[in-house]
A and B are shown apart, each in its own frame.
Chain A
C-alpha cells in the first residue's frame, strides 16, 4: 500500500492507533470519516503538498473516502493525529449464531472478559478505593494511591468498577465532574509514550512526546479556575520505570501540585515496589496510601464462579469447589479458575455432542480439565524420546549423582553414556552423534547446554529434576 511506503516513520510514532485497527496493515481502509469533521479538511489539504502528488492515486482507490469527496490520503495521517478520524474495525455482516444450549451460555459467562456488574469478595477494597477517590474528587485536590497484588486478584477490575460508579454519579451531578484517563505500561513501546497517550485521551490529538509533555506540564502547573479533576489510572507501573525514572517522577510530581487536580492511581504486582525499584524522591511523592489485594481463597473463588453461573444448573457445585480448592492452593488467581471451568464446560459439551443427551459439568470433567492444565508435559516428553536420548538423559543424571555437582561437562556424560550403552547392549554412537542427541535434548529444554561452544568440554545442566527422569524411565526397560 502506497500510504505505508510513503510514511513509514509516522506509522511508528502512531503505533497505537494502528494497533487499534486490528491488523495495522490495512489502516487506511479501515478508517471511516465521521461526517461532521469533513469541513476542516480542505483547509488542511494544502499543508502537505509534497505527498499529494504521490499519494493522490491511493486516495481514489479508497471507497469510503472517495465517495464522500474526502481528502487525499496524504492527509490521512494528519487526520488521525488530530483525532478527527477514529480507527474502527470491520464488523461482521451478521452476528455469529451461538447454539443456545445452557453449556454455551455458561461458557460465555465464564469468560474472563465478561466482567460482572458487581465484583464478589472485593467489597472492602472497593470501599477503600471508592472512599479515596470520592474524597479527592470532592475536595478537588490531587493525590496518589498505590495498589498492589498478585495477578488475577481483581485489581484493575475493582478500580475500573469504582471509576464507572463515580462516573455514573458525576453524570447525575451527585459529585463534581471529573475526567478519566488510563494508561497501561505494557501497551507503551517506551515509557515516555505515556505522555502521548495521556494527552491523546485528554484532547484527542497525537503529538510527539516532548510536545505532549510540555503541554501536559503547562496544563497541570498553571491555574485554571474551571478545571475539573483528572483521574489517571496507571496500570503496570513497574514497566514505566526506566533508568532515569523521569516519567514516573513527573507522573507522581504533578498530583503534588495544587493546580493540577490530578489523582493518580497506580497498579502493580509487587508489594514493595516503591521501596525496591523507585528512587527515594519518587517514593516520597508516591505517599503512603497503599492497598494490597490478597489472593483469593477457595471460598472466594467458589463464590466468584457461582456468581457468574447464578440461575444455571449446568455446573455441579462440587466440581466448582474442586476447581476453587486446586487453584487457591497454588496461586489464588481468579482468571485461572475461570479458565479451568470454561475448559470443563467444553469437555462436557463434547461429551454431550457425542452422546446426544444433556450433560452437566461434573467432577470428571473438572478433573480432566485440571490434569490438562496442571499436567507435567516433561514426563511425557521423556517417555516419547528415542532410546538413545533416554539413555543420554540417564547418563546425565548418573554423572550428576556421581560428581554431586549440578553442572557436568560433556566428556563425563559421554563416558557414562558409553558404559550405560554397553550395559544395555547398544552400540555406542560416536561423540558427534552424542552431541547431536545432546543438542536435540537441549532444544526441547530437557537439558540446558552452554551455547556457542559445542565441543566435548561444553557444560550440560539438567533442566528437570532427577526424580522426573527416574520416574519417566521406570516403565521402560532401561531401569
Chain B
C-alpha cells in the first residue's frame, strides 16, 4: 500500500530530500549516517545517469536506509505496475537539464578538496529550479562521501537566527560546555582549529539568517578563511545578489568572497525534457501529445520557469484523464489529454481576473459594485487621486441617493471596503483611522468592467460627474 506514496510530484521529492537528509542526521549517529551515505553513493554511481532527484529513492530502498526519495509519478495504476515490475536498474540518477551546474559544483568541491583548503559558495535562483535537488546529489556523491562530512541544515527549521550555531554543533556531534550561543559558536570554531575531516556545510534558505547587523552570516562566511579550517560552505537562497547586498564587507577580502552559481529558470525545452522524463517513468507519456506538452512548457517557461508548477499542471491533467478513464470503463486506449484541456487548466491557473468575471456573474453584491464604480469615477474625473475611505464614502452616498438606493452606514462601508479588498480589486493602505485609509484600485478599468459584468451600471455611474461634489 505504501508504494502509492510515491505518487507525489517530483518537485516534492526535491524538498523531501533535504528534509529527509536532515532527519536522518537527527536520528542517526554521525558514523552510522556516513556509512549510509557511502552506501547509497556507490549505488548512485553505478546507475546510468538519467534522472536525478528521483532515483535515490529506490536505491535507498535497496540499501535499506531511512532516507528515501520517491520518484515523481503521475499515474497510479501505471505507477504500480512500474513499481512492481522493476528493480533499481531502470532508475536513473540525475537531474535532467541541470548537468552544467552539477559539473560546476563537482568541480568546485573537487578543487577545494585537492587544495586541502576551504571554500565558500553561494547558489541562487528562483523557486523550483532544482537548487536543493542538485545539492543533494552532491552530498550523496560517492567519491566525496569518504572525504567529506556533510552537514545539511534548512534554515527555516531553526528557532531563531542565533540558534544556528547550536544546530551546527549538534550536527557535527560536538561536545559543548554550556548552552549559550557564544559557547556553541566557540565550540564550532575550536573544532575548526583542530585537525578534522573536511566539512561540507550546506545552509538552505540562507536568507532566513539575516539579522540587523548580519553578525551571524559574517561569522559563518568567515570560517572558510581561517587558516586551519577545512570547510566547504554552501549557501542556498532565492535572491541573486544576497551576498552583495547583505554581506558587502566580504568584497574587501578576496579569500572571503563566496563564489556564485546561478540556477536560471527552466526554458521551454528543458521543461519539455523533464516532463517527458517524468511521464516516461510513469508510462503515461502516451497520454500527452507532443503539442500539449509544448504548450504547457511554453506557458510555464514564459511566466516563471518553475518546475513545480509544470509538474503540478501535468499531474492535474493526467488525473483528470484518469478520471475520464474510470468513468468510461477501463477498456480501450487510455484517454489522451487534449489541447483544449491544457488550455482550460492554464487559463484557470494563470488568468486570475478573467475567470473571476465568470464566477462573479451573479455573485457580486450590488453595494460593492457601486463602491467600485464610485472609486473608478473618482479616479477618472476627480481632481485628487489620493482617495481616502471618507471621501469615497461621500461620493458613494451621493451616487446612492441619486439612484434611490439605500446607502449603508460608514462603519458598514468600511467593512464593505475590506470585503472588496479580499478579492484583490482594491487595496487599503494606511493610517490607523479607518476613515483615513487610502484606497487604491489594483486592477485596471477594463478588468473591473469585465469582472463586474454590468456595463449599464458602470456607464451610468461613470458619466455622473455631478456626484463628485464641489
- A residues with a Cβ closer than 8 A to B are 135, 138-143, 148, 150, 176, 210, 213-214, 217-218, 220-227, 244, 246, 249-250, 253-259, 261, 269-272, 276, 279-281, 284-285, 287-289, 292, 294-297, 328-332, 374-378, 404, 406, 448, 461-467
Contact = CB atoms under 8 A, between A and B. Distances in A.
Given A143-B8, A330-B365, 7 more contacts: A139-B7, A217-B19, A257-B16, A257-B19, A289-B316, A297-B362, A374-B412
Given A218-B23, A258-B5, A297-B362, A272 B416 contact: no
- List of 5 A-B pairs having minimum Cβ-Cβ separation, nearest first: A256-B12, A294-B363, A140-B4, A258-B70, A257-B16
B96 to A, nearest CB: 19
8 contacts: A222-B66, A246-B157, A246-B208, A258-B57, A329-B365, A332-B365, A465-B390, A466-B394
A345 to B, nearest CB: 23
A374 B408 contact: yes
B366 A221 contact: no
Contacts of A287: 308, 312
Contact of B422 (A210, A271, A329): A271
Given A258-B16, A271-B423, A214 B26 contact: yes
B309 A294 contact: no
Nearest to B360: A294
B366 to A, nearest CB: 4
B203 to A, nearest CB: 14
B5 A332 contact: no
Interface string B287-324: 00000000000000000001011001100100100000
Contact of A332 (B27, B69, B363, B409): B363
Contacts of B424: 270-272, 276
B435 A221 contact: no
Interface in B127-173: 127-128, 156-157, 159
Contact of A465 (B12, B14, B393, B419): B393
A213 B19 CA distance: 13
B9 to A, nearest CB: 7
Nearest to B434: A463
A220 B8 CA distance: 14
A333 to B, nearest CB: 9
A329 B6 CA distance: 48
A257 B390 contact: no
B2 A225 contact: yes
Contact of B435 (A143, A244, A329, A461): A461
A300 to B, nearest CB: 9
B353 to A, nearest CB: 10
B9 A140 contact: no
Contacts of B95: none
Interface in B264-307: 306
Given A256-B11, A329-B366, A222 B423 contact: no
B157 A217 contact: yes
Interface of B: 1-2, 4-9, 11-16, 19-20, 22-23, 26-27, 57, 66, 68-70, 76, 126-128, 156-157, 159, 205, 208, 238, 306, 308-309, 312-313, 316, 319, 349, 352, 356, 359-360, 362-368, 388, 390-391, 393-394, 397, 408-410, 412, 415-416, 419, 421-424, 433, 435-436, 470
Nearest to A272: B424
Given A256-B16, A258-B70, A259-B68, A285 B408 contact: no
**Secondary structure dominating the interface of B:** helix
Nearest to B391: A406
The CB with the most chain B CB atoms within 10 A, among A139, A220, A289, A377, is that of: A139
A330 B416 contact: yes
Contacts of A217: 19, 22-23, 26, 157
Contacts of B1: 140, 176, 225
A337 B76 CA distance: 45
The CB with the most chain A CB atoms within 10 A, among B6, B11, B23, B366, is that of: B23
B238 A465 contact: no
Contacts of A289: 316
The CB with the most chain B CB atoms within 10 A, among A142, A255, A281, A331, is that of: A281
B221 to A, nearest CB: 20
B433 A261 contact: no
A224 B68 CA distance: 11
A50 B388 CA distance: 61
A249 B156 contact: yes
Contacts of B391: 406
Contact of B26 (A218, A256, A272): A218
A218 B26 CA distance: 9
Contacts of B397: 465, 467
A376 B70 CA distance: 61
Given A249-B156, A332-B363, A140 B433 contact: no
B394 A221 contact: no
A406 B309 CA distance: 49
B359 A294 contact: yes
A222 B27 contact: yes
A46 to B, nearest CB: 27
Nearest to A221: B23
A281 B365 contact: no
A269 B156 CA distance: 26
Contacts of B349: 288
Contacts of A269: 422
Nearest to A213: B157
